[in-house]
Chain A
Amino acid sequence: MHFKGQDHHAKILIDLVDAYNGAKRTIALHMPTLDISGHVTTQERKLDVSIPKGIKAGQNLRLSGQGGPGMGEGGAGDLYLEIDFHPNPIYRVDGKDVYLDLPLAPWEVALGTTVKVPTPAGTTLELTIPANTIAGRKMRLKGKGIPSKEPGDLYVVTIIATPPADTDTQKEAYQAFEKAFEFNPRTHLKG
Chain B
Amino acid sequence: MTQTNITWIEGAIVENEIHMSIVELSQAASTSEELIMAWVTEGVLSPTGSSPQDWRFGGDSLSRTKTAVRLSRDLEINTPGLALALQLLDQISDLRAQLVRIASSKKD
Binding site for B on A (CB under 8 A): 4, 6-7, 9, 24, 47-50, 52, 54-55, 58-64, 66, 77-78, 80-82, 92, 94-95, 99, 101, 134-138, 148, 155, 157
Contacts and interface: CB of A to CB of B under 8 A. Distances in A.
A7 B6 CA distance: 24
Interface SS of B by simple majority: mixed
A125 B16 CA distance: 29
B53 interface: no
Given A94-B97, A155-B104, A78 B28 contact: yes
Given A52-B13, A61-B12, 8 more contacts: A52-B11, A58-B63, A59-B16, A61-B11, A66-B9, A77-B27, A92-B100, A99-B104
Contacts of A6: 27, 30
B18 interface: yes
Interface residues of B, number: 27
Contacts of B107: 134-137
A7 B27 contact: yes
A50 B10 contact: yes
A148 B12 CA distance: 14
A99 B100 contact: yes
Nearest to B108: A136
A63 B7 CA distance: 13
Given A48-B7, A50-B9, A95 B108 contact: no
A47 B60 CA distance: 25
Contacts of A52: 10-11, 13
B13 A7 contact: no
Nearest to B96: A94
